[in-house]
Amino acid sequence: MTRKPRLVLVGHGMIGQHFLQTLTRRTPDHPFHITVLAEEPRPAYDRVHLTSLFSGTTEEELALWTTEFADEAPGIDLRLGDPVTAVDRAARTVTTRSGATVGYDTLVLATGSRPFVPPVEGHDTPGCFVYRTVDDVNAVRARAENAKAGVVVGGGLLGLEAAGALHAMGLVTHVVEFTPRLMAAQVDDGGGSALRRRIEQLGVVVHTGVAARTVEAGEDGGVRRMTLTDGTTIDCDLVVFSAGVRPRDDLARACGLPVGERGGIVVDKGCRTADPRIHAIGECALTSDGKVHGLVAPGYAMAEAAAGQITGGSGEFTGAYPAASLKLLGVDVAGFGDAHATGEDALEVTYANSRDDVYKKLLLTPDGRLLGGVLVGDTTAYDVLRPLAAAGAPLTTPPEQLLLPPDAASGAPAGPAALPDEALICSCHHVTKGTIREAITEQGCTDVRAVKRRTHAGTGCGSCTGLIGKLLDSTLGESGAPVAKGLCEHFPQTRPELFEIVRTTGITTFSRLIDRHGSGGDGCDICKPAVASILATLNPRLGNSVHILDGEQAALQDTNDHFLANLQRNGSYSVVPRIPAGEITPEGLITIGEIARDFGLYTKITGGQRIDMFGATVDQLPHIWRRLVDAGFESGHAYGKALRTVKSCVGTDWCRFGVQDSVALAIELELRYRGLRSPHKIKAAVSGCARECAEARGKDFGVIATSAGWNLYVGGNGGMTPRHAGLLLADADHDTLVRTVDRFLMFYVSTADRLERTAPWIERMEGGLDHLRSVLVDDALGICADLDALMARHIDTYEDEWRATLDDPERLRRFVSFVNAPGTPDPTVRFVTERGQIRPAPVLLPVPTGAVAR
């Protein structure tokens, strides 16, 4: 039997994972024996959205190594926490920190970069951190819990994200930037000034044109003060260095591969090093254009070029178009192309509104081609401007029209129609407008999901998804085809319309709904879980007590709902009992500890103030939950699109700063809304004072105590597009607050689209927060009585799903790994021990012959 070629990937970050995905797509027959050697103790995760961990996003939500990918690429030997320490090019082997030796035929270096820490005296004082990994975030967050003030050294993209995190945690925050302006690489002086004004309005103190000189320690040995080069002193308890990165090229240097004068492994257009068996991709590579590229999109392009070369096809990396768009401390900022007028004869078109701190500038050639631009405070035109500049074609729309606000521009603002077919829509996967139009007009894609599946556009950082939707609508409209607004191919109605149909008709089953109001048939993976959620929300309210695992309902559920537990990447499940507001007795802690010990589960405190137990097999779930229910615990609904948690600080009971009893209110709200099924997950928090320790403004609804009552904020979230919640009510009394939250949740559940969080729901709403306030407080639509009644029935009919499951032998029958071998554990679910607890083993074993997997 011929031995498969050995491919070793060193590093498992975003670029390394993209390489694996590209390789898998190109070689579905899996011709390589692949070993991945990772330094971090966790698989690849979305480092772009690392800051969202501060606002409630979980590590699992950032994970890129998914169960779906593991199924597509079986047999990859993923070794975590064991980085490569040496490369022997002559023997074609690598050695890891544990002493393991792994042979290769092809070696791919994706070692990324390391944070640059300036040579500041005292930079290693306890309380000084870098900002690069999940562990870095966890360390910063732990230190911030007892800190009052923090300093971020570096005013670039990552530095301002770190400053936003410190500010959101209630710290007095300083930013120290050596250059004369913030985000010097992306914006010009005008944009930097507008950005600074917006950030300083939030209370963040900005120091530009200076550097950190010393970090001084206090009596406890930790950070106490920073002194700047201009003599300014800053009292602080925490310092984050975010002053850039340097390529991790140590392995290449040690084994004799050429590296650049300022770092980076020298590669050609195919991302090959001087050794044809070794490739380098991502931030560790110095590409043929003489640059080290630090963004995700060029890293992805390098991964694709290397995968193409390794599989015998074509693939080249010839450079990347510079562009970035993001929200920093609540301020929209974007820069693209030649943002600093470095080209000869560049002409400027500028729009500045100092009242609103909006600044926009475009740079053009004399013949009207767009070179680049800067947008601060309003980046709505970025989706169109970036691909126009990248295409290098003359503008067909006057440039001033592209900058003016829509209500001030003469004529409609430019949209996707203004883009040439060669315009790059998705820079992560190098997908052009023409490719997307072809997928729509010739390959039958009629929704964004289909376009993503066909072209991979929008599956990287996700920032182009909105433009894909606009392009889809315009292309379908041009062809005369109807623009589908329905839930899916089986229902012409939207989710809110289906919700109203079920509410008014009393329909209780999916089959009846699809027969009467859809196209008939079995439905799909879009409409079935969406309708299942609607039925779970409304059936008890309509007097029909139908458990989600009963009859037809069971077949509609997502995998997590199907077993009332979260599926993990190795086929095991996690168990999360409800712990309202994070308050738990010693007896409750002991119960959870004993269960975890007896079933051999991995335990971790979650960001929502709960305890998560990982590693349960399907057949163990009822036994675990029997003990939890008997001890008084309920389902935490971590598996469902429902209310997750209402997080709280300790409030007036213990904290000397508290002005209201936040714990009591959080418990009341969590018990009131538990089990409420919704279009997407709902997270909430209650803070007992303005210090905001519960991070309420990063939740779908958040409550912050005032001396006069409670402020209610709505529409916040972490995740890929973090948003701060907006103020809906100020200084409300208890009853007004609860009544308004009741209405807010039921209005959201009734009118939001499938998988739509509260933030985009409010943004999509005409009139936004003001309209929402008029509906919920002033009853502008006359629906408040209906919303109140729906919530009252939800509260009256609540039933713990796990208790009801344990009481029904028929429901319990599903909790087996193999339908023809009840009681037989799944042998593919295997673990190893690390840090005294289990974690998934990297090798998957085949299912036994004759067993039928559920």
Cα of 57 vs its chain's centroid, Å: 7
Helix, strand, coil % over all residues of the chain, rounded to 5: 35, 20, 45
Distance CA 741, CA 672 (A): 11
The mean pLDDT value for 249-262 works out to: 95
Q: Judge residue 682's burial from the number of C-beta atoms within 10 Å of its C-beta, 0-12 exposed, 13-18 middle, 19 or more buried.
A: buried
Query: What is the reported pTM?
Result: 0.58
User: Looking at residue 276, what is its pLDDT?
Assistant: 94
Check residues 74 and 148 and name the one with the higher pLDDT.
148
Most confident segment among 66-70, 422-426, 452-456, 726-730: 726-730
Does 15 score more than 60 pLDDT?
yes
CA distances from 760 to 671, 715, 725, 765 (A): 26, 8, 11, 8
β-pair partners for 7? 34, 106
Please state at what angle helix 734-751 crosses helix 784-797, rounded to 10 degrees.
90
pLDDT 10s digits, 786-810: 999 999 999 999 999 999 999 998 8
- Residues with Cβ within 8 Å of residue 785, at least 6 apart in sequence: none
- Residues with Cβ within 8 Å of residue 86, at least 6 apart in sequence: 94, 95, 251, 254, 255
Does 407 score more than 60 pLDDT?
no
Does 392 score more than 90 pLDDT?
no
The amino acid sitting at 587 is E
User: Looking at residue 720, what is its pLDDT?
Assistant: 61
The residue count of the chain comes to 854
Confidence of residue 674 (pLDDT cuts 50, 70, 90): very high
Check residues 668 and 62 and name the one with the higher pLDDT.
668
CA dihedral 53, 712, 666, 169 (to 10 degrees): 30
Does 843 score more than 60 pLDDT?
no
Structure tokens at 587: 């007896």
- For residue 823, the tally of other CB atoms under 10 A from its CB is 8
Q: Say if residues 336 and 300 touch (Cβ distance below 8 Å).
A: no
Does 395 score more than 90 pLDDT?
no
User: Looking at residue 842, what is its pLDDT?
Assistant: 66
Least confidently predicted of 283-287, 329-333, 480-484, 659-663: 480-484
Does 735 score more than 90 pLDDT?
yes
CA distances from 394 to 310, 370, 380, 577 (A): 38, 7, 21, 59
User: Looking at residue 320, what is its pLDDT?
Assistant: 81
Does 451 score more than 90 pLDDT?
no
Does 697 score more than 50 pLDDT?
yes
Confidence of residue 68 (pLDDT cuts 50, 70, 90): confident
User: Looking at residue 239, what is its pLDDT?
Assistant: 97
User: Looking at residue 540, what is its pLDDT?
Assistant: 58
Least confidently predicted of 200-204, 342-346, 569-573, 623-627: 342-346
752: DSSP letter: P
Strands 233-235 and 223-228: antiparallel
Q: Say if residues 199 and 191 touch (Cβ distance below 8 Å).
A: no
The mean pLDDT value for 409-419 works out to: 58
User: Looking at residue 542, what is its pLDDT?
Assistant: 42
Confidence of residue 499 (pLDDT cuts 50, 70, 90): very high
Distance CA 287, CA 279 (A): 11
Confidence of residue 845 (pLDDT cuts 50, 70, 90): very low
The mean pLDDT value for 157-166 works out to: 88
Structure tokens at 827: 């042998």
Confidence of residue 851 (pLDDT cuts 50, 70, 90): very low
Distance CA 251, CA 111 (A): 9
Q: pLDDT averaged over the chain? A: 87
Least confidently predicted of 41-45, 95-99, 221-225, 510-514: 510-514
Percent of the chain with pLDDT over 90: 52
Beta strand ranges found along 467-582 (DSSP E): 566-567, 573-575
Check residues 548 and 724 and name the one with the higher pLDDT.
724
User: Looking at residue 414, what is its pLDDT?
Assistant: 57
CA distances from 367 to 345, 394, 396, 652 (A): 10, 7, 11, 66
Does 827 score more than 90 pLDDT?
no
Does 328 score more than 90 pLDDT?
no
- For residue 367, the tally of other CB atoms under 10 A from its CB is 8
Check residues 286 and 294 and name the one with the higher pLDDT.
286
Check residues 478 and 514 and name the one with the higher pLDDT.
514
Distance CA 312, CA 500 (A): 55
pLDDT 10s digits, 516-541: 888 777 777 788 889 988 988 887 54
Least confidently predicted of 557-571, 650-664, 666-680: 557-571
- What are the two backbone dihedrals, phi and then psi, of residue 54, each rounded to the nearest 5 degrees? -70, -25
Q: Which residue, chain included where needed, has tokens 């110095």? A: 286
Does 696 score more than 90 pLDDT?
yes
The mean pLDDT value for 168-191 works out to: 89
User: Looking at residue 525, what is its pLDDT?
Assistant: 76
Quick one: CA dihedral 383, 386, 391, 394, positive or negative?
A: positive
Does 416 score more than 80 pLDDT?
no
User: Looking at residue 413, what is its pLDDT?
Assistant: 46
Distance CA 579, CA 585 (A): 10
User: Looking at residue 157, what is its pLDDT?
Assistant: 84
